[in-house]
Structure 1
Amino acid sequence: MSAAVARTAWPRVLAWALALPLLLPALWLASAFATPAPDVWPHLFAQVLPGAVRNTLALLGLIATLSLLVGVGLAWASARYDYPGRRFLDWALVLPMALPGYVVAFVYVGLTDYAGPLQSAWRALGGAANGFPELRSVPGAALVLSLVLYPYVFLIVRAAFLRQGSAAMDAARSLGHGPLSAFFRAALPMARPAWVAGLSLVLLEALADFGAVSILGVDTLATAIYKTWFGLYSLTAAAQLACAMVALVALVLVLERIGRGRGRHAGPQLMPPPRRPLSGWRGWGVSALALAVVSLGFLVPVAQLLAWSWQSRSALPDVGAPALNTALLAAMAAGLVLVIALAFTLLGRRGGGDRIVQAAGFTAGLGYAVPGTVLAVGAMWLLVAAERAMPWLGGLALSSSLVAVLLALSVRFLRVGHEATESAFQSLRPSLLESARVLGVPAGARLRRIVLPLLRPGLVAALLLVIVETVKELPATLMLRPFGWDTLAVRIYGYTTEGLWAQAAWPALWLCLVGLVPVWWLVKQQK
């Protein structure tokens, strides 16, 4: 009996031993309240927080509305109708995911500046200089971020609509409802788990955004944390403010769970419902709308980056060192995340689906919902406390090394790697392992000779996804990197803060190229 208990206990202990270091950066923030910051908080309450909270809530509301309208509308058109260019637009609508929000933001700021082509054309046509719409605003930031975030809703909801079949819509039409009424009364409620899940991802990404809102001059809670740390030089107040942001993230997750309710996705169909042909102005209207969204979210930004890079081709900025640092950081972070994710997956399999082991893996992956600014403050606060508690380190500065960056990135993106490895293991046939075990092949040999070769495609996909997320991550790297150790994302941010749009275009193009990798993988998975 004791041997059976031991076999059950050690996966649990090891799983939580792996999860605890990943939870500490966020949990340790609460200890900041033991150190008051009376000289900072009056200024924050009077000058910073009212506008930051108001802008954050308004931004989330606008982004949610725009993302739902565009994502759900285009998903329904793609799943149920056949219009000119649909096959091309189905994968083109995912392309904006390849671009970081801060890249799209600085492109449109450059295009809409007073000396930019859009304002110049506006004045040439007789428009008033002060009558041009202001992009540096909450509505402007919401529009820019929605252009790169709507694919989360589009991908998930499109898959749900394809699984629904046509029975519900046919029943609604037979009861006298028109196409629009049947959609809102039957199709949309059935897809509620899908659009709520997609919307929660959009809101979490919007809440975590730091680069785009900084470039657009919109103060949010993410920028408030950064300014409190680096502007007011108070890590304590920044940690306390980060706790409030963690509570807002928790609220989003709770609302997402309530929004799903007891709804489930529709069961899989043998064949998707037949698409209704759209011809004439209706078909071309849908095509034009989809193409406009793709153009604004991907084609225009990439074309402008290419134009700026070509214009400054004789004096392109040197991105050799930042590119090398980016590759080094991405390789280390992705390798670390993959090892931890693989360990959680193997422990879950070893524990026979033990709920305690699964809870450890799920809890460790919650860092994906925490903004990078919060994790940066949590990692710094934790490592500073570790340095003080362990003087025997001999002056080793953990908080000003790559250790802090890797800790924050591992916490942030473990869920990405874990879900990819879990998906890879689900495709593994248990009969193969059972046959090898019956034949007397040791466990280590089974892992090396059977499991890993079969899982290689899924593990490579997980590695690529984590690499791309790491490369695009800005706030954690910006706030925790060693002095003078720039990545491509940090270099882009440095150029854009000085208004040097053309200089930022060249490193931004490299980031866009890397970002196309997961988009290609997502499109391939849907074929």
Structure 2
Amino acid sequence: MKPGPLRRIGFRLCAWVLALPVLAPVLWLASAGGTPAPEVWPHLWREVLPQAAVNTLGLLALIAGIALPVGVGLAWASARYEWPGRRFFDWALVLPLALPGYVVAFVYVGLADYAGPLQGAWRALGLPAGAFPELRSVPGAALVLALVLYPYLFLITRAAFLRQGSAAMDAARMLGHSPRSAFLRAALPLARPAWVAGLSLVLLEALADFGAVSILGVDTLATSVYKAWFGLYSLPAAAQLALGLVGVVALVLVLERLGRGRARHADRQPLPPPRRRLRGWHGWVVASFAGAVLLLGFVLPMAQLAWWSWQMRADLPAVGEAARNTAGLAMMATLLVLALSLLFVVLGRRSGGDRWVRAAGFSAGLGYAMPGTVLAVGAMWWLVAVERGHPWLATLALSSSLAGILLALSARFLRVGHEATEAAFDLLRPSLLESARLLGAPPRRRLLRVALPLLRPGLIAAALLVLVEVVKELPATLMLRPFGWDTLAVKVYAYTSEGLWQQAAWPGLWLCLVGLLPVWWLVRQQG
């Protein structure tokens, strides 16, 4: 039943009132153009931006060149062929998603140091020390990030290949194409919406990365925002750089849309296509490649973290306060995001799917495509403007409290909570509640006995996904935290900034273990 005109207006007003504070960090950056920083910009143009822009473009190109063949190739092998260990690798290849990029980066930097095992083995083989590949470079950063981010391509593209069935490949083979040619000219173009979407996710995550590139000594546009604020002490310049980074993000999204064109996902087939068994050395080559990717992207970093943590086990209490701060921040941000998600979903359904209400919910989730550095600068810029415009709010010190972190995290991860909550409500069919009402159950009983049991798994999944993202978030927490208030992610950054790889192992290991929770849930969903 459609609501009346007045109720529709009320629903729209409520939705946009909820959306505007979450949108404020990004929208307020538009005012940065009117606040130039002439003493800072000459230095930025001369010393920072040219190299940062070149590094960013080179990093994105190299990550695409590594992650695309790895992710798509493994997805095709998993969806269409049977080879040794295929069932194990179907879920194991997702595990690198659990590891924050900055944790994997400092593990490999520690391993590749002059006194580390990799360079030690290199010299033991009689090879010249100067010829050892430099990890702290754009190619090194691209390799590390590609090892962490390729599962996005693997998951999305594998699902598309399974939906295709075998008709396209069979038709191409009947026309005389070889298996490789049939894949390139039939299967891959049909899956274009999937692998383009997966690649755009990889590039957006790489564009937003701050911790890994900082540890690896690569200046990008994301680190330039941080340097303008904390190195040159110019919040206006940081806001202007953040606004430019928003433009780069928008360009990636436009290219992703153009890359898809008018293509759509293939229709779902009644059953997955039959897998062809790879016999002899062919199957072992695929298994060896998958094992090497898993070893470099998950097993080796986790094993080294565990070894360093065991060596530094006496320092466990040193991260106790950071762990408590992390848990408290994660709980507050998760509850806030979950409450906003529930309100948007309920408003959308009570309004009968009103397009303006849906637009408010969609707009509020746009922050998920924004780097944490952008949202941090936008949140601080807005809070400072609010305090200047309303002096009585200055006594609350919003800009130097947890309010800025919660605002940035809500804008960053509302889309995650909203989509998971919407999926939970899709299971709540109106006929079930109507049946309970016809059986005489009062509203409170219908809520407790019918609605909540159906919503609980989806809401728990939403809370879990948001909580883990908040725990791993580095730039927004680092840039907005009150003085002396550290989280596990900030501890990792502080230790690695001083080259203390072993001391960073404990907080890094805890972050990875927490990150395994949503991956475990994802693997269960796949099963």
- TM-score normalised by the chain length of structure 1: 0.98
> Is the partner of 1:38 in helix, strand or coil?
coil
Q: Give, in angstroms, the shift of residue 453 of structure 1.
A: 2.4
State the one-letter code of the partner of 1:479: M
Q: Give, in angstroms, the shift of residue 17 of structure 1.
A: 1.0
The residue aligned with 1:18 is 18
The residue aligned with 1:84 is 84
The residue aligned with 2:240 is 240
Alpha-carbon distance between aligned partners in 2 of 1:351 and 1:122, rounded to the nearest angstrom: 66
Q: 2:168–2:186: 8 Å Cα contact kept in structure 1? A: yes
Q: Give, in angstroms, the shift of residue 394 of structure 1.
A: 5.3
The residue aligned with 1:335 is 335
State the one-letter code of the partner of 1:250: A
> Is the partner of 1:428 in helix, strand or coil?
coil
Q: Give, in angstroms, the shift of residue 259 of structure 1.
A: 1.4
Alpha-carbon distance between aligned partners in 2 of 1:447 and 1:62, rounded to the nearest angstrom: 52
Judged with a 3 Å threshold, the aligned counterparts in structure 2 of structure 1 residues 477 and 3 are, in CA distance, closer, same or farther, namely: closer
1:431 correspondence with 2:431: yes
The residue aligned with 1:189 is 189
Q: Deviations over 1:94-142 (max 9, x none)?
A: 0000000000000000000111111111112111111000000000000
Q: 2:3–2:351: 8 Å Cα contact kept in structure 1? A: no
> Is the partner of 1:115 in helix, strand or coil?
coil
Q: Give, in angstroms, the shift of residue 313 of structure 1.
A: 2.8
Q: 1:29–1:239: 8 Å Cα contact kept in structure 2? A: yes
Regions of 4+ moved over 6 Å: none
The residue aligned with 1:96 is 96
1:125 correspondence with 2:125: yes
The residue aligned with 1:413 is 413
Alpha-carbon distance between aligned partners in 1 of 2:442 and 2:382, rounded to the nearest angstrom: 41
Alpha-carbon distance between aligned partners in 2 of 1:200 and 1:408, rounded to the nearest angstrom: 22
The residue aligned with 1:147 is 147
Alpha-carbon distance between aligned partners in 2 of 1:141 and 1:311, rounded to the nearest angstrom: 27
Q: Give, in angstroms, the shift of residue 447 of structure 1.
A: 4.0
Q: 1:317–1:506: 8 Å Cα contact kept in structure 2? A: no
The residue aligned with 2:346 is 346
Q: Give, in angstroms, the shift of residue 393 of structure 1.
A: 2.3
The residue aligned with 1:492 is 492
The residue aligned with 1:229 is 229
Alpha-carbon distance between aligned partners in 2 of 1:444 and 1:367, rounded to the nearest angstrom: 36
Q: Once structures 1 and 2 are overlaid, which stretch shifts more, 352-361 or 133-142?
A: 352-361
Identity %: 75
Alpha-carbon distance between aligned partners in 2 of 1:394 and 1:308, rounded to the nearest angstrom: 45
> Is the partner of 1:485 in helix, strand or coil?
coil
State the one-letter code of the partner of 1:140: G
Q: Once structures 1 and 2 are overlaid, which stretch shifts more, 64-73 or 137-146?
A: 64-73
Q: Deviations over 1:395-441 (max 9, x none)?
A: 22100100000000000000000110111111222211232455576
> Is the partner of 2:504 in helix, strand or coil?
helix
Q: Deviations over 1:238-269 (max 9, x none)?
A: 00010000001111111111111221111222
1:52 correspondence with 2:52: yes
Alpha-carbon distance between aligned partners in 2 of 1:68 and 1:441, rounded to the nearest angstrom: 54
Alpha-carbon distance between aligned partners in 1 of 2:11 and 2:95, rounded to the nearest angstrom: 41
1:295 correspondence with 2:308: no
Q: Give, in angstroms, the shift of residue 312 of structure 1.
A: 2.4
State the one-letter code of the partner of 1:157: T
Alpha-carbon distance between aligned partners in 2 of 1:428 and 1:333, rounded to the nearest angstrom: 26
* 1:210-229 → structure 2 map (5 Å cutoff): 210-229=210-229
> Is the partner of 2:462 in helix, strand or coil?
helix
Q: 2:71–2:150: 8 Å Cα contact kept in structure 1? A: yes
State the one-letter code of the partner of 1:399: S
State the one-letter code of the partner of 2:200: S
Alpha-carbon distance between aligned partners in 1 of 2:465 and 2:241, rounded to the nearest angstrom: 30
Q: Give, in angstroms, the shift of residue 150 of structure 1.
A: 0.3
Judged with a 3 Å threshold, the aligned counterparts in structure 2 of structure 1 residues 442 and 240 are, in CA distance, closer, same or farther, namely: farther
Q: Give, in angstroms, the shift of residue 449 of structure 1.
A: 4.2
Q: 2:72–2:157: 8 Å Cα contact kept in structure 1? A: yes
Instruction: Give the aligned length.
Output: 526
Q: 1:316–1:503: 8 Å Cα contact kept in structure 2? A: no
> Is the partner of 1:503 in helix, strand or coil?
coil
Q: Give, in angstroms, the shift of residue 446 of structure 1.
A: 4.2
Q: Give, in angstroms, the shift of residue 315 of structure 1.
A: 4.2
Q: Once structures 1 and 2 are overlaid, which stretch shifts more, 420-429 or 288-297?
A: 420-429
Alpha-carbon distance between aligned partners in 2 of 1:349 and 1:444, rounded to the nearest angstrom: 19
The residue aligned with 1:367 is 367
Alpha-carbon distance between aligned partners in 1 of 2:15 and 2:452, rounded to the nearest angstrom: 21
The residue aligned with 1:134 is 134
Q: Give, in angstroms, the shift of residue 12 of structure 1.
A: 1.2
Q: Give, in angstroms, the shift of residue 348 of structure 1.
A: 1.0
The residue aligned with 2:524 is 524
Alpha-carbon distance between aligned partners in 2 of 1:28 and 1:166, rounded to the nearest angstrom: 51
State the one-letter code of the partner of 1:86: R
5+ residue gaps, structure 1, are: none
State the one-letter code of the partner of 1:453: P
> Is the partner of 2:136 in helix, strand or coil?
coil
- TM-score normalised by the chain length of structure 2: 0.98
Q: 2:388–2:394: 8 Å Cα contact kept in structure 1? A: no
Q: Deviations over 1:184-234 (max 9, x none)?
A: 111011111111111111111000000000000000001000000000000
Q: 1:204–1:249: 8 Å Cα contact kept in structure 2? A: yes
Q: 1:317–1:503: 8 Å Cα contact kept in structure 2? A: no
The residue aligned with 1:395 is 395
* 1:434-445 → structure 2 map (5 Å cutoff): 434-438=434-438
Alpha-carbon distance between aligned partners in 1 of 2:83 and 2:201, rounded to the nearest angstrom: 29
State the one-letter code of the partner of 1:149: L
State the one-letter code of the partner of 2:322: P
State the one-letter code of the partner of 1:164: Q
> Is the partner of 1:501 in helix, strand or coil?
coil
State the one-letter code of the partner of 2:13: V
Q: 1:111–1:117: 8 Å Cα contact kept in structure 2? A: yes
Q: Give, in angstroms, the shift of residue 3 of structure 1.
A: 7.8
1:471 correspondence with 2:471: yes
Judged with a 3 Å threshold, the aligned counterparts in structure 2 of structure 1 residues 187 and 492 are, in CA distance, closer, same or farther, namely: same
Q: Once structures 1 and 2 are overlaid, which stretch shifts more, 135-144 or 448-457?
A: 448-457
Alpha-carbon distance between aligned partners in 2 of 1:316 and 1:130, rounded to the nearest angstrom: 37
Q: Deviations over 1:318-353 (max 9, x none)?
A: 111000000000000001000101111111111112
The residue aligned with 1:271 is 271
Q: Deviations over 1:349-381 (max 9, x none)?
A: 111122111111111101000000000000000
State the one-letter code of the partner of 2:204: L
